[in-house]
């Protein structure tokens, strides 16, 4: 009998539902929340309310698009951690109620593990062991993956995440939230070597982005004092130079991790892996260092339920189910 899983993602400000049948994603539905734009960041209480409004229609559409009836489902999966607790509660309560009503098992999924396993949705897939650079709005990690359900963080940020570095830089440039995709857009027209921002010297496989943020702040303040239109006139070059530095900070640590572990299958994941500068640079580093590189399809980079579904599939096969008393948590290790 085939395995049919409905997966729900509600860790932050996007409500997602996906349907997987025998390891293949048949639908991957997402509702983005616009309510946060005017606040310059995600407002947790507004996020949970919007999840409550979105979850029923998003699940309905995901099932319809996949041509799967709820009575046919084998299990319901949900994001259990990490994330905003109110947002996680909406998804987990919904998933539990549905699993109870249908009398089928429940599967709790770790959001960061799911980002990594987004690389297993389409072919080609990495071989084990491989390294994954997971870069999102809340995390920056180098993960050593030994099997789908066995992974270990070997390096991470000591302060801001890579996504935050993008978003905070964008804010300094007067761009709306989330600014990462906008920096990417303007960077396409700019010269990445025009302005030089520092690369911090952080021990081991860890990262730090707070110094870069301060350097950008002072750089903009100085130049704006001399020419109040400095940002406007040089937006593309500033964005390209910031992006170039964030990408080199990230990939130089991956080079170190690959050297130390001897691993040559290198994947990226998380919202920032949608960044075109990072995607192109990963290919270039791959050629230089003889890596096989893996990048999820665009729709599986930023938060989505497809990655929750593929992770749940591996957990289903391994018999790792959650009880109806499973509680979501804002923070959790793999």
Partner touching 63 among Zn ion, ligand KG4, none, CB below 5 to 8 Å by kind: none
Tokens found for residue 90: 């909406």
Is position 138 annotated in a ligand binding site?
yes
**CA angle 53-85-106, nearest 5°?**
75
Instruction: Return the residues of window 262-301 that contact ligand KG4 according to CB under 6 A.
Output: 270-272, 274-275
79: left (phi over 0), alpha (psi -120 to 50) or beta: beta
Select 207 or 285, whichever has its Cβ closest to Zn ion. Answer: 207
Tokens found for residue 4: 């049919």
302 binds ligand KG4 (CB under 6 A): yes
184 binds Zn ion (CB under 5 A): no
Is position 111 annotated in a ligand binding site?
yes
Output DSSP code: residue 175: P
- Residue 182 CA to residue 280 CA, distance in Å, equals 17
Taking residue 301's Cβ as centre, other Cβ atoms within 10 Å add up to: 24
Partner touching 241 among ligand KG4, Zn ion, none, CB below 5 to 8 Å by kind: none
119 binds ligand KG4 (CB under 6 A): no
CB of 271 to Zn ion, least distance (A): 6
Across-strand partners of 106? Answer: 76, 322
Instruction: Return the residues of window 176-205 that contact ligand KG4 according to CB under 6 A.
Output: 178, 180-181, 184
Select 18 or 21, whichever has its Cβ closest to Zn ion. Answer: 18
DSSP assignments along 47-97, one per residue: HHHHHHHHHHHHHHHHHHHHT--GGG-SEEEEEEESS-HHHHHHHHHHHHH
Coil, strand or helix: which one is 146?
strand
CB of 275 to ligand KG4, least distance (A): 3
303 binds Zn ion (CB under 5 A): yes
Q: Could you say which of 79, 136, 169, 243 contacts Zn ion (CB under 5 A)?
A: 136
Partner touching 273 among ligand KG4, Zn ion, none, CB below 5 to 8 Å by kind: none
**CA angle 311-313-318, nearest 5°?**
100
Would you tell me which residues interact with ligand KG4 (CB under 6 A)? Answer: 12, 136-138, 163, 166-167, 178, 180-181, 184, 270-272, 274-275, 302-303
Q: Which residues are annotated as a binding site?
A: 111, 115, 134-138, 167, 180, 184, 275, 303
């Amino acid at each position: 009998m085939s395995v049919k899983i409905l997966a729900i993602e509600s860790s932050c400000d996007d409500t997602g539902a996906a349907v997987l049948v025998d390891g293949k994603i048949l639908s991957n539905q997402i509702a983005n929340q616009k309510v946060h734009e005017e606040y310059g960041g995600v407002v947790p209480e507004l996020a949970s309310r919007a999840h409550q409004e979105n979850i029923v229609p998003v699940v309905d559409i995901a099932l319809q698009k996949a041509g799967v009836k709820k009575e046919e489902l084998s299990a319901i999966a949900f994001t259990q951690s990490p994330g905003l607790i109110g947002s996680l509660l909406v998804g987990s309560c919904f998933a539990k109620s549905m699993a109870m009503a249908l009398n089928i098992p429940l599967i709790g999924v770790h959001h960061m593990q799911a980002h990594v396993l987004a690389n297993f949705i389409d072919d080609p897939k990495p071989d084990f062991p491989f390294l994954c650079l997971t870069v999102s709005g809340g995390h920056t990690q180098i993960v050593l993956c030994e099997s789908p359900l066995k992974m270990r963080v070997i390096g991470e940020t000591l302060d801001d995440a890579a996504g935050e570095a993008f978003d905070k830089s964008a804010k300094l440039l007067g761009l709306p939230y989330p600014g990462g995709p906008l920096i990417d857009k303007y960077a396409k027209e700019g010269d990445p070597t025009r302005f030089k921002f520092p690369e911090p010297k952080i021990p081991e496989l860890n990262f730090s982005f707070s110094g870069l943020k301060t350097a950008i702040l002072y750089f903009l303040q100085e130049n704006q004092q001399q020419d109040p239109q400095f940002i406007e006139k040089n937006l593309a070059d500033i964005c390209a130079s910031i992006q170039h530095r964030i990408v080199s900070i990230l990939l130089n640590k991956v080079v170190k991790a690959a050297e130390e572990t001897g691993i040559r299958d290198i994947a990226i994941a998380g919202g920032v892996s949608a960044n075109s500068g990072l995607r192109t640079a990963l290919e270039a580093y791959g050629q230089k260092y003889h890596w096989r590189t893996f990048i999820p399809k665009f729709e599986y980079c930023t938060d989505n339920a497809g990655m929750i579904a593929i992770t749940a599939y591996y957990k289903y096969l391994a018999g790792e189910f959650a009880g109806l008393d499973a509680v979501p948590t804002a923070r959790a290790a793999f």
